[in-house]
A and B are shown apart, each in its own frame.
Chain A
Amino acid sequence: MDVQLPRVSKAWQSIKNLISGQSTSSHDGDSIEGKLSLKEISQLYPRDTTILSEVEKCLLYHPIRTDLQPLANKLAESAALDSQDVQLIQQSNQQQIETPLQAENSQFIGRDVQQKKVSDAISRWQNNKGELTAVIGPFGSGVSSFLNQFHHQYHQQVPVTYVSFYHAALTTKEAIANLCYCFNITDEPKSITEAIALINQQDSHIIIIDDLHKLMLRMMGNYQALVTFATVIMETRQQHCWILGCETYVWHRLSSQYSITNFVKIIVRLEYFSLLEFRDVIQAKTANISLTLTSDGNEETEKAAFEQLTKQLHQVSGGHSKLACVLLFNALTEDPNHPLSIKPICTPDLATLKQCTDEDLFSLAEIYVHGGLRIFQHAEIFATSIEQSSLKLEYLSRQGLLKPHYSKLDFAQHYYVIPPTLTRLIASHLVNHNKLYL
């Protein structure tokens, strides 16, 4: 089965390029004409430098709400994190990132069926039939935005707390402490029984825990911490309405290892946008940039061209709106003296991913399911030295497959995440290579 036919391979590549109408001539070291390398995509968003262009702001960062206090800071202030964590998070906040859509935001599109399911779950809880609810979806499908919709919707009726932990608990005590922060309980209970009793004494709350994947860590101690966490929320579900947001592959892992689906009664699944929803998303994003696709001024032609553009973007991005917006932004040509024009949409070039070794892919898979890893955590998970882990993660970061958040205090605390624009592409590659599974 080991046939090496370089000429046939070359011919095959040429045929493929001919069919797809692409040329193999490269114009720079990183990308092929008609294709955009993963590194370029990850550099386009989130940008480390100041954003100057209005078009970029509208497409990639809108809405940036200055009134929004990043939750990570709130948690850090409440002593959930140590000084190093605070620094890490502050650094990450310096990067321009789009915040999840806020409650009652007119830009929230679709998800009506799922919204009804969660509303029904809250109604049932208000009628003393509370059960745990989970909202699961792949990274970039809008789980955080979706959860945020319920924050404002219910906050006048009952206290609503929206939290996203940055610390995975590794002991029972830490797990209890995490849960106590949701209720601002400062005197931490000594045992799980005390914790359940104390939390049940609190006024009824809706607690939205986003990014549940950040609570799961493949390190010794986390198993017991998660069991404690699950027990407490299970025992307090009548008093408080717990809504959990989690990534799909992590949810599958939690289901396999902890049988979490046996305890969570209402599971709401989000997928990437369908073509119709996607068209609305692109329409909303391009509404303020006066993008004209045709030159004849005919409304019908313009509409048809827009339909064609959204279809193409949907096909390339698979409904991942952030990736689509980056590809669209890359295709736009800004010139102050001319109206905004558009070049053909580039497709992502997966060559970097294809070059990854098995070990690289395992690292990417773990970073994906954890939502990000620090160097020392990577070293612990892969049983390697911190130096080796540092080199591996830095290499992947230089390939554009990871986004680093550097700590000034300790290199072992450098934090690496999958760039938000590449989550779908990387996940699908990892599934095909048997590193992630559903």
Chain B
Amino acid sequence: MDDSRKALQAILDIISFDKLLAFATVCLFAWLLMVIVQFVLKQLTIKLPKYRLLWSRLYPFARLFVWATVMIYTITEIIDPHENLILAVIGSIGIVLGLATQEPAKNMIAGLIIMITPPYRVGDMVTLSGHYGEVIQLDWSVTWLRTFDDNTVMVPNAEALKTAVSNANSGALDEMVVVTFKLPISVDHLHAIQLAKEATQCSPYTFLDKPITVNIATDYQYGEHLITLTVKAYVMDIRLERKFASDINFRVLNAFKQAEFYSVSTSETIDAIN
């Protein structure tokens, strides 16, 4: 009976007004600190957008660190419970929460793994669960993506770890973009390669520090032999990926039409280009 009474008294001590107030104060400070960190990182992103991926990656770590510190501080300094009580509470709560929140707990652990050994980071262009987009936020339990259609997609972290992840830029601002063109087999393929390469070079969004490659292959479709040209070039900023792909298409098509690679009448188009 004495032990039970002591345990009850210990629990009552934990939920005393003073301790609750101290806990609330610590949480408030932590929240304020996180707001300041967020604000400073945002200012840095505005000031130095070249390093925006770095600034956005710092936030999840800062949050993890701050809240872990809050938890440790609260348990060791504010609550300071008897070790038997810790074991009893952890055991009881663990069983209940484990059963009730199996999926969220799984996601949170997956989130922790993603933060420690990241298959992707904030700012990367990834394919997660069939959705392609930029990682805009990395929470404990979910990852937020922004697709090119401006949709925000939430992917549970456990799901992200379960399936293969395709990462297009792996932490860099530039990213490879691949555009394919089909040409009739009769065209001068050497000239076509030169035109495709130069037209890609002319795009103001091309990251010229990395090579532009044009690969050639043949294909047979609709009873016709075709040349397939694959242009591989790097865009200066991952956010311009679609714009860049469209720009390459526009320029290379213009060049091919001017060279009269397509058999259709193109006089109007050439006039428009000129």
Contact = CB atoms under 8 A, between A and B. Distances in A.
Interface of A: 1-3, 5, 8, 12, 218-221, 223-224, 253, 256-257, 362, 365-366, 381-383, 431-435, 437
B251 interface: yes
B187 to A, nearest CB: 17
B136 A3 contact: no
A221 B258 CA distance: 13
Given A223-B201, A381-B204, A8 B39 contact: yes
Given A362-B205, A434-B50, A1 B38 contact: yes
A256 B48 contact: no
Main SS class of interface, B: helix
- Best-surrounded residue of A1, A12, A432, A437 (most CB of chain B within 10 A): A1
Contact of B209 (A2, A8, A221, A437): A437
A277 B230 CA distance: 52
A5 B122 CA distance: 22
B39 to A, nearest CB: 6
A418 to B, nearest CB: 16
Nearest to A431: B50
Contacts of B208: 253, 256-257
A434 B59 CA distance: 22
Given A257-B208, A383-B251, A1 B41 contact: yes
B201 A362 contact: no
Given A253-B208, A256-B209, A434 B41 contact: no
29 contacts: A1-B38, A1-B42, A1-B122, A1-B136, A3-B38, A8-B39, A12-B39, A12-B43, A218-B202, A218-B204, A220-B195, A220-B202, A221-B198, A223-B198, A223-B201, A256-B208, A362-B204, A365-B204, A366-B204, A381-B204, A383-B247, A383-B250, A432-B47, A432-B49, A432-B50, A434-B237, A435-B236, A437-B207, A437-B209
A221 B259 CA distance: 13
Contact of B201 (A2, A257, A383, A434): A257
B137 interface: yes
B137 A218 contact: no
A17 B29 CA distance: 27
A64 to B, nearest CB: 37
A90 B182 CA distance: 48
B108 interface: no
A194 to B, nearest CB: 23
Contacts of A256: 208-209
Interface of B: 35, 38-39, 41-43, 47-50, 56, 59, 122, 136-137, 173, 195, 198-199, 201-202, 204-205, 207-209, 236-237, 247, 250-251, 255
A260 to B, nearest CB: 12
Among all A-B residue pairs, the 8 with the closest Cβ atoms: A434-B50, A256-B208, A223-B198, A3-B38, A256-B209, A218-B202, A433-B49, A432-B48
A5 B35 CA distance: 10
B52 to A, nearest CB: 9
Contact of B199 (A3, A5, A220, A437): A220
A400 to B, nearest CB: 21
A431 B38 CA distance: 24
A381 B39 contact: no
Contacts of A3: 35, 38-39, 42
Contacts of A12: 39, 43
Contact of A433 (B35, B50, B122): B50
- Best-surrounded residue of B38, B207, B209 (most CB of chain A within 10 A): B209
A366 B41 CA distance: 29
Given A432-B48, A433-B49, A434-B236, A381 B202 contact: yes
Contacts of A253: 208
Contact of B204 (A2, A221, A382, A431): A382
Contacts of B209: 256, 437
Given A432-B50, A434-B236, 14 more contacts: A1-B41, A1-B56, A1-B122, A3-B38, A3-B42, A218-B201, A220-B202, A253-B208, A256-B208, A381-B202, A383-B247, A434-B50, A434-B237, A437-B236
